[in-house]
Amino acid sequence: MPPKGKTDDGAYRQLKRDISGGAIGTLYLFHGEEAYLRDFYLGEMKKKLLPPGMEAFNLHTLPGKEFSVKKLQELVDCLPMMSGRTLIVVSDFDLYKGDKEGLIQVLSDLPEYVCLVFVYDLIEYKADARTKLAGVIKEKGSVVQFRRQGQNDLVDWIARRFRALDREISTEDAKYLMFLCGDLMNGLISEIEKIGAYAKGRRVTQEDIDAVATPQLDAVVFQMTDAIAAGKFDKAASVLGDLFHMQEPPIKLLAVLGKQIRQLYSARLALEHKKDARYLMELWGMRNSYPAEKLMTAARRFSLSWCRQAVIRCGKTDLAMKSTGASGEELLVKLLMELALPLS
C-alpha cells in the first residue's frame, strides 16, 4: 500500500481522487524520483480501466526510442475491445524534442475512450513552459510529480511493511533504516524483506538492520566521520579500508567525506548560535532527522577551530587529487590521519 500521507502537489492529490472516484482523465504525465509510487498508481489505473483478461487488447505500450507521432496516432485510433477505455503508456520520450506540432494535434483531440500516460523513468522531465505544447498539456492533462516521501509518512509506511511480515519496528529504528539505506521506497522494500526474514524476534532491532541491510555510500562514510568524532581512529581507518575494498573511486569518497565535514562544521556553528537539529535539516534539505541529530551530537565533541581546519584540509586534498599525480587512496589515508589530530 502507498503511504497515506498527503503531498502539497495538487496534481498528485487529484490523481488519487481520479482513481478512487473512477473519473480517470485522458492525459497524464508521470515523473519524479519516487518510482514506487509512480508504478503503484499506474497499476491502480490499469485495474480501473482494463477488465481482467483484456489487458492484451486494451493496454498499449510505446517505448520512447520507438516513438513517433504516427505510431501514437495509430494507438489512439485503436478502439477498446469489450471495455470502455484503452490505456496507452509511453515511456521515456522527451515530449519537447521532435515533432511538437504533430503532438499538439494528437493531444488536443484525444477521444474520451483513451487514457494516455507519458512516464519518465530513465530520463528527466524538463518542461518548456514557453511552448504551445506545454499549454496544451496543462489544458488537456495533468502533470504528476512523485516526490520522495516526508519522514513521518515514510516511517508509517515502513512500519506497515514490517507488520505485513509479522514484524514490528520502532520509529527511531525506522529512521535509522532510512538513513542507512536511503529514502526511496523501491530500495527500502528489498531491505525490509531481508531484515524481516533475518530477525529472530517480532521486534526488529538496529542489530538486525546492521546484520543484513546494504548501506548506501553516504551512510558508510558517515560511520567513518562518526568514528573520528568519537576518537576511534582505528574504526575510522577500518571503514576507509572497507570502502577501498568496495573499489569506490577515491574522488567520489572524498566528495562524500567533504560534504559531511562541511555539515559537521555547520552543526558546530549551529551550536554556537543556539540552533537545534531542525535548523540543520532545513539548511541541508534533510528529510530524515536521524543524521541531523547525529551531526549535532558529533559537533559537540569538536571545537569550531577543528571543524574549520577540517573543511580546509578536505579542500586541499581535493585540489591535490585533481591536480597532481599522487594516489587518491594515499591522499585519503593522509587526510584521515590529519583529521585524527586533536586540533584545538
The whole-number average pLDDT for the span 34-56 is 92
Average pLDDT, the chain: 91
pLDDT digits (tens, 9 = 90+) for 253-268: 999 999 999 999 999 9
Provide, rounded to the nearest whole percent, the portion of the chain with pLDDT above 90: 78
More confident residue, 191 or 234: 191
In a domain, 1, yes or no: no
Instruction: Give residue 163's domain range.
Output: 151-212
Q: How confident is the model at residue 3 (pLDDT cuts 50, 70, 90)?
A: very low
Contacts of 58 (CB under 8 A, 6+ apart): 49, 50, 51, 80, 81, 83, 85, 86, 87
pLDDT digits (tens, 9 = 90+) for 284-336: 999 889 999 999 999 998 899 999 999 999 999 999 999 987 899 999 999 99
| 175: exposed, middle or buried (Cβ count in 10 Å: 0-12, 13-18, 19+) | buried
What's the confidence (pLDDT) of residue 342? 63
Provide, rounded to the nearest whole percent, the portion of the chain with pLDDT above 70: 97
161 and 132 both lie in a single domain: no
208 and 227 both lie in a single domain: no
281 and 308 both lie in a single domain: yes
- Between the CA atoms of 176, 178, 180 and 186, what dihedral angle is there, to the nearest 10 degrees? 150
Which grid coordinates belong to 340? Answer: 585524527
Q: Assign residue 207 the CATH number of its domain.
A: 1.10.8.60
In a domain, 197, yes or no: yes
How are beta strands 114-119 and 86-91 bridged, if at all? parallel
Which grid coordinates belong to 326? Answer: 599522487
What's the confidence (pLDDT) of residue 225? 86
In a domain, 4, yes or no: no
For cell 548560535, what's the residue?
Answer: 273
In a domain, 318, yes or no: yes
In a domain, 5, yes or no: no
What's the confidence (pLDDT) of residue 97? 87
Domain termination residue (choose one: 145, 174, 194)? 145
Which grid coordinates belong to 132? Answer: 504551445
Please give the tally of structural domains in the chain. Answer: 3
What's the confidence (pLDDT) of residue 49? 94
The whole-number average pLDDT for the span 198-212 is 96
In a domain, 30, yes or no: yes
pTM of the predicted model, to two decimals? 0.82
Measured CA to CA, the distance from residue 222 to residue 196 in angstroms comes to: 25
26 and 67 both lie in a single domain: yes
Q: Is 50 exceeded by the pLDDT of residue 89?
A: yes
**Closest of 94, 8, 108, 88 to residue 45, by C-alpha:** 88
207 and 126 both lie in a single domain: no
Lowest mean pLDDT among 35-39, 42-46, 325-329, 338-342: 338-342
Domain termination residue (choose one: 212, 240, 255)? 212
96 and 171 both lie in a single domain: no
Alpha helices, DSSP H, located in the chain: 10-20, 35-49, 55-58, 69-76, 100-108, 132-140, 151-164, 171-181, 185-198, 206-212, 217-229, 233-245, 250-272, 277-284, 289-299, 304-323, 328-339
pLDDT digits (tens, 9 = 90+) for 149-201: 989 999 999 999 999 999 999 999 999 999 999 999 999 999 999 999 999 99
184 and 124 both lie in a single domain: no
Q: Is 90 exceeded by the pLDDT of residue 231?
A: no
The whole-number average pLDDT for the span 215-225 is 91
Q: Assign residue 80 the CATH number of its domain.
A: 3.40.50.300
Q: Assign residue 315 the CATH number of its domain.
A: 1.20.272.10
